[in-house]
Amino acid sequence: MASMDRPISRDVPAPDAARTAPRRKPFRWGWMLLLITMFQVFSFFPVAFAGGELNETLGMVFGIYILAEWFYLFLAHIITQRDDFPLEILAFFLSGIGLTICASIHETYAVKQAIAIGLGVLSFAVLTFLLRSTERAMFLRMPLAVAAVGLLVLNLLLAKTTNGALNWISLGSFSFQPSELVKVAFIFVGAATLEKLTATRSLTKYVIFSIGCVGALFLMRDFGAALIFFFTFIIIAFMRSGDFRTLILISAGALMGAILIIYFKPYVANRFATYRHIWEYVNDKGFQQTRVLIYSASGGLLGLGVGNGKLRNVFAASTDLVFGMVCEEMGLLLGILILFVFAFVAVYAVRGARKSSSTFYSIAAVSAAGMLLFQLALNVFGITDLLPMTGVTLPFISRGGTSLICAWSLFAFIKSVSFNIGDVKPYRGRRRKG
């Protein structure tokens, strides 16, 4: 990790080293996409024909979705002249599962989820383009930090309490969750700040920015999101190389978290009230978790079939409890496969970070993967009572537009570790006048 203290511009290997490095075996993305498409057709078909006749709206949504994922990958292959698209294919796979669940509940949910996926793919493409230049990343660092703080302040001013938290802003029929968008800015700013962490002033600014983000989330009473941000902050701090400054970052973050938890002790205590005691409140505070355990187990290895489950009738089934819904209706095997997909993404990020052309990409990829993995753990282990339930969504699969856009954007950070040396425009610092 010692290399993490070097400026970004020095992390790019010499051209001779790049030319002599062994070429990776091409990734056969076409075959993998074909298998996933077959799975999607198998999943979509019974939902589209649930009433005995084809639901034209759902048929159109599913058809456009499959065509769009093939078109996107073929276009990406033509533009980049590359074949390494495992992340994009896995993202389409996970998003397709979420689309199936939404469609089985109501066709309106399916349309909104499909639009959100489209926006997510667009955000992935735009962010991937921006990340190819570390100069652009350095330039956008401060504007994104200001925008993130502004969104959180706007959230505190305009949001109304929903399910005990101030985390949604409604504009007519449209609503969004600012904290999901701030996740992207939080990683972007943290990774980009790495190049200037040799200066105490920059270090202090980043600590203040992190405290501001996590503190605002506590004021919103969004305890789950605050934990995710704090965990990501720890990862970024650790990736600093483990020197004395890193210890200061971690200590400051831990102290910040302890103070906020003590200050909001009544709220936090309520979150832990039923932890490990859900069966004592089977029809009260433990209603959701006990139903998840009962119904997901009843689905067996292959599931009861999409639309045939009972968990869908429980509050927040398609959002917080969606993993249990997948296990019940689509099978425990698929649930396990989803966990393996996220584990693969984490390994992909860590392995890629060792060979990345820039420390900016290494920090961004590992912290993004860590954020996704930690959010997955909070969701899955929370609804199964292995961890306190915090009410966070399952990335890519839970119903929700801003959550989907955030998940796709985080994959762009992970994708950045695969950039070739020639793809990256290195950051060369500020130009001196004269």
pLDDT in tens, the chain (434 residues): 434 444 444 444 444 433 433 444 545 677 888 999 999 999 999 999 987 888 899 999 999 999 999 999 989 888 888 778 889 999 999 999 999 999 999 999 999 999 999 999 999 999 998 888 778 878 888 888 888 888 888 888 877 766 666 777 777 667 778 888 889 999 988 887 765 554 445 566 777 888 888 878 877 877 788 888 888 888 887 776 555 566 566 666 666 665 656 555 555 556 567 777 788 888 888 888 899 999 999 988 999 999 899 999 998 899 999 999 999 999 999 999 999 999 999 999 999 888 877 788 888 999 999 999 999 999 999 999 888 888 889 999 999 889 999 999 999 999 988 875 445 555 555 444 43
Tell me the HSE value of 347 on the side-chain side, using a 13 A CA sphere: 7
In the chain, where are the structural domains located?
Answer: 2-423
Alpha helices for 220-331 (secondary structure H):
223-238, 244-263, 265-271, 287-298, 322-330
Residue 382 near residue 301, CB atoms below 8 Å: no
Residues 6+ apart with CB under 8 A from 264: 218, 221
Residue 222 near residue 392, CB atoms below 8 Å: no
Q: How far apart are CA 107 and CA 99, in angstroms?
A: 10
Tokens at 328, concatenated: 């019940």
Residues 6+ apart with CB under 8 A from 349: 365, 366, 368, 369, 414, 417
